[in-house]
Each structure stands twice: as structure tokens, then as C-alpha cells.
Chains A and B, each alone.
Chain A
């Protein structure tokens, strides 16, 4: 199954979660920002564009479905764009995650791709860029300081061989969330040993230490991704792809051993490999106060509040612990961007498409992200909750942001690491076998 972070965050923002005040602000921002954009050119930090009346055609935009940011961002950006380009017709299409990925790939291979589309960056975008179906945005980004609007590490997720092929809007990172009501004031475990001790303590209190729903495999893969980042350091994956390093490495084997150490400590719930995250398999245990922690993305609080009002207020977080002797910087984070957007090479109106990207990464869009309680990939956001502030700081101060492996690698290797993760977690393979299987998959990517 394809990795689907956006599907679980879909319900996170609906108008019912926005206070009346925020809605008014939002409406005001939308109403005002658009005229300002035209007359003063502050939006998107670009020079005052004359009304682009000479541009004609239809701009097709494919986004993901969802009542929240997935659809709201393109809709509001399109509304602003229409004012600047009255002769351009906007065709916004929202698709479900899995059909989206299939349909996009098929249409990018055809003569009739969408002009602008949702992307996750990383290996898949890289593959498209190498096929020559994505528009190189480097030149546009260098104009008017557009590039400087982004948090650099996150914009780099859209970079392939020194060229940028997309722009990110929302940032995600993965941390340990815990129920502070249940655990009380714990001190965040700084090292793996302290973390294992915490797990054992929570276990002896009769709780499930860490909830996990791993049917779709990506939630459990966070452990492998993070441990290898901590142990082997930030450049390891690049070196593996370049053939300068191998997955069949003592560090990767050690990561497997540590995952199985967690399993042996009883960290996870009964039958976690059969629990489905999309239907709340892991969160049910949090709600019943039977489980204390979950290693999950920053979309979790929003998802939780869409299921149980205000339950996320009980949540605090700590970063993935450091591993003694590891080469990774403990401030490094695992994360990704979604939504991000890219433009087809074949578009007939590249100027309009790029202007759409400028609109969807401007201040009004950033404010939408912040209001939704999510992290912006754009600089200068001010967050009004303590948690969001801490996460944003962690993200900005992170030594590196490692993209989720299933988005970093080409699809076949991305899937292989999901299988290895599930195998390690269910102890159906040994750490040595896991490392060997990863290397086998990496080898076929290098050849291909």
C-alpha cells in the first residue's frame, strides 16, 4: 500500500474547528490579500505584475481530497489567481490519495498531463524530473527572492541535481507524542537507554507504552528510518544510493536489533501488525487511556481532534532519542512536505502555472497553514500554541530533515523498506536478514 500521510490528516481542519474569530480573520485575509497582491505586489514577494490579461487557456490543478488544507490551499490560491488572469479558466480537481498517484503517473506519461499537481518531493519527483516531465523552477525561484521564503531544508526536498522542481507549503515531522495526563511530568528521554527504561516503567504500570497500527507498514517504518538516521548519520542514504555505502552495514543491523529490543520490552500493543491506522487502530488505545505514546507525524493532533474534540490538549511530545555512539545529530528530524506543488513540462501557460505556485506559497497561504494548527514550510510564521512553537523551532534548528524513506527513495525501494520494517517488528526476519534485504533492493535501484 502506498504511503498515505495525507489521508489521515484529511479531517484535521474543518471550519468547525476554527473559532469564529479565526474565520473572520481568515475571511478578511482572503478578501484583502488578493487586491493587495495585485496593487502592491507584496504577495509572493514579487514585482507588481500587471494584470495578466494576455494569458489565456485553462490551468488544470490536481490536488488531494480533504476538507482541510489539501483542498483549501489550491482553492484560495486559484481564487486570487483568477483576479490577476481573468482570461484563464481554473480547473481544480481533487483526487483520493491512491488513485491520485496512479492517475498522475499515467497522465504524466501521456500527452495530456495536468499543468500543476500535488507532490511529495523526494524520489518520486526525482524520477519524474529525470524523465523530463517536470518543469525546472530554479530560475523562477531565484527571482524576487521567492526562494528565500522557504525553510531551506524543506525546499531541498524538491531539489534534484541542483535544480528545484517544486515548492513545499506544509511541513511534517515525526516525534513521540504522549498523553501527559497519563504519564504526568516525565522528563524527555535524551538517550535510547533512557527511552527503553521509560518504556519498561510505563509497561510495569499496566499500560501499553507505545501504540502502533502497522497494517499499512509506514507507521512502523518510522523506527527504522529514525534509528538509521541517528546511527549512520545524515549522508548515509545518499551514499547508499551512490553505491558508496551498503545497507548491509553494522549500523543498520544495530537499528534492527534496537527495534526488536523494543518489541521484546513489550512496547507495542497486541496484534499491531493487523491494526489499521486509517480507521483509528492505534488511536483507539490512546483514547481508552490504555496506551501512553505514539511515534507519529505533526498531523496527529489535528487527526485526534477530528475524532475526539480537544483530546489533543492532553498531548505533549519529545524528539526521537539520541543513540549512544551514533553519527547522527540528535537535532535531526524525520519528516516531509505535503502539500507541495510541481508544474508539468508540457504546460502551455508556464507563466500562469508559476504564478499559481507563487500564490499558494504566499503569506495568505502560510496563514491558512498556521490557522490549521500545522507547520508551514515557509518562513516567518507565528504560531499561537506552545506545542506548535516548539515544533517549528525544532524544525528550523534541525541539523538535517531526513525525508521519509518511502518518499526519499524510488518507489520499489521505498516499498521494500516498508516490508523489512514490518518483518523486523514482527520478528519474522533477523536484523541481519533485514539489512541484507534492504541492500538487495538498493542494488536493483542502482542497476536500474
Chain B
């Protein structure tokens, strides 16, 4: 075989086989989408059984008056009518909105600040990074129990410290007052989840080329100037991701509230998810609980979906 026969086939030819197919041993070509489907199928199947199917199932349950045993009776949209005129449900919705706003407005800025501090790589930064990260690693139930004790009106650390520095008049029964219970829980939520966004932002910061900062410095930009004009714009995508994660997480939030107050006192910390749980599994009104769950799903779906669409439009412009 003449050498010249081979020559026209460049390296490129080998590096790029036809992209849309895989070659079977018999020469049969699987379309790429089919191969992709085969790989996705097991995960998709599990997802369909344990996530998608239950969503539709609970929509069906939400149309019934059902205590969990027997068949229940079909009552159309009565559960939804009841929910929409139920003061406790709206209180839960309002608490969820407060939690969403507080989470985004408190967690993201503090997380960004910590990320910037840690990326300054001052002596001992690794220790600080580990310490800041710790709350995220703890089990939520353990976090809740620890904070129950910190907030204890008589024996708690917080009131103890306030008393020790002469601020007795600020002492509260933090989880026992309707006015302070929700803020007290939001503080713990932030404490636990700030590290997550911190790590997200640290990862984002490493993707910004240092040359940009050097160039800016040569052009005389101060620290603040380069933060506003380089760091923030280049982190935009990450911040957006963080905000959406925080939004959805806050809408679905359940565990810390359940452990620390169970939604009380007097429903002052009730969230949609805790209300759903109580109605379905304590009052055993499975139909009504399913209706609350479906409303929660619709809220989260619409809010998250519209956020994504608005964002998409903006970045296309």
C-alpha cells in the first residue's frame, strides 16, 4: 500500500468520527439518542416512579375526602376551595414568602462576603473554610436540637450571654413568642445554609481569570471598583443559580421548623410543607393534605419556572 494512500486522511478524520452514531460490531449503527436513552433509562425510571408518579397520584388524592383507609369520596375541587379560604394556609404561604426573601437577602450576601474573605488566602484560611463549612455537614435534626437548647428561655446560651453583658431587657423566650419564633428559626436556617452558598461562590471565584484584576489594577481600579465591575458581573450566573436554589429550597422548607417548633406556637412558624404534613399525617385528612401539597407544587413550579424564563430572556438580550 502506497504511503500516499494514507496521507489524505488526517488526524482530524480519526478524531472526529461521525458524531451522531455509534458503530456496533456488526456494523449496525445505533442512533445517538437511543444510546443516550439507554444510559438515562434506569435513572429516569426511578425518577418517574418515585417523583413524577406520586405528583400525579397526590393530585388525584387531592380531589377526594380521604382519611387514608378505604376509598374516600370524590369531592371535586372542594379541598382547594377550603385551602384558599383557610387562614392557616395563607399564614403558611406568608411565612414561606418571608423565608424566601430572608434566605435570599441574608444568605447570599453573607456567603459572598465569606467567599471573598476566604479567597484572599490570609494565613489560616483553610481552617476558617473548614469551620464555616461545618454547619452544612451536621444533621438537621441535630442542628435543631442544639438550637432549641441555645434558645431555651431559662437555661439557654443566648439569654445567658444577653444577661451576662447586661442586656436582660433583650432576653426572650425565642421560640415561645409568636413574634420571635420565625426570625429565630430563619437565623438558624441561614447559619446552616450559608456555607453551601459560600462554597458555591468560592468555586465561582476561582473561574475568574486573575489577569482581569491585574489589568484593572494597572488601569487604577480600586478594590471596590474591581469588585463591582469584575467580580460581580462574572459571578452573575453563579449568583443566579444560588438564588434559584435558595428560592425553591425555602418554598419546600420543612425539617428545621418541624424539629424546632412543629409550626407553632399558634401556627406562627407554619410553612406550607409543615401544614401539609400535619393535615395529612396528624389529622389524617389525606385529601386535604394532598391539596396543600399540590398547591405547594404549583407555587414552586410557577415561581421557579417564571424566574428561569425571565432570566433566559434577559441573558438572550
Interface residues of A (CB under 8 A from B): 1-2, 98, 101-102, 105-106, 108-109, 127-128, 131, 133, 214-217, 269-276, 279, 281, 284-285, 288, 290, 411-412, 414-415, 419, 422-423, 426, 428, 448
Contact = CB atoms under 8 A, between A and B. Distances in A.
Q: Which of A271, A285, A422 has the most CB of B within 10 A?
A: A271
A127 B68 CA distance: 11
B117 to A, nearest CB: 34
A1 B285 contact: no
B160 interface: no
Interface string B261-291: 1101111000000000010011111000000
Given A269-B153, A274-B151, A428-B178, A415 B283 contact: yes
A215 B265 contact: yes
Contact of A215 (B70, B264, B281): B264
Contacts of A127: 67, 69
Interface string B81-99: 0000000000000000000
Given A131-B70, A285-B154, A448 B65 contact: yes
A322 B226 CA distance: 76
Given A109-B70, A128-B69, A412-B283, A290 B154 contact: yes
17 contacts: A106-B68, A131-B70, A269-B153, A273-B265, A273-B266, A274-B176, A279-B149, A284-B155, A411-B67, A411-B285, A412-B283, A419-B267, A422-B264, A423-B266, A426-B265, A426-B266, A428-B266
A107 to B, nearest CB: 9
Contacts of A2: 281-282
A275 B262 CA distance: 11
A231 B284 CA distance: 30
Contact of B264 (A273, A284, A411, A414): A273
Given A215-B261, A274-B151, A426-B265, A133 B69 contact: yes
B173 interface: yes
B283 A411 contact: yes
Q: Which of A269, A411, A414, A422 has the most CB of B within 10 A?
A: A411
Interface string B151-169: 1111100000000000000
Contact of B69 (A108, A274, A448): A108
Interface residues of B, number: 33
Nearest to B65: A448
B235 interface: no
Contacts of B69: 105, 108-109, 127-128, 131, 133
Contacts, number: 101
B178 A270 contact: no
Q: Which of B149, B172, B176 has the most CB of A within 10 A?
A: B176
Contacts of B181: 274
A109 B267 CA distance: 31
A427 B285 CA distance: 27
A271 B266 contact: no
A448 B75 CA distance: 12
A215 B149 CA distance: 14
Contacts of A217: 264
A93 to B, nearest CB: 19
A284 B154 contact: yes
B32 interface: no
B245 interface: no
A274 B158 CA distance: 15
B175 interface: yes
Contacts of A414: 283
A345 to B, nearest CB: 12
A271 B177 contact: yes
B68 A1 contact: no
A284 B176 CA distance: 16
A415 B282 contact: yes
A270 B176 contact: yes
B282 A411 contact: yes
B173 A274 contact: yes
Contacts of B177: 271, 274
A409 to B, nearest CB: 11
A279 B145 contact: yes
B148 interface: yes
A106 B153 CA distance: 40
A215 B177 CA distance: 11
Nearest to B269: A274
A271 B148 CA distance: 12
A368 B292 CA distance: 45
Given A411-B284, A415-B282, A281 B266 contact: no
B31 to A, nearest CB: 43
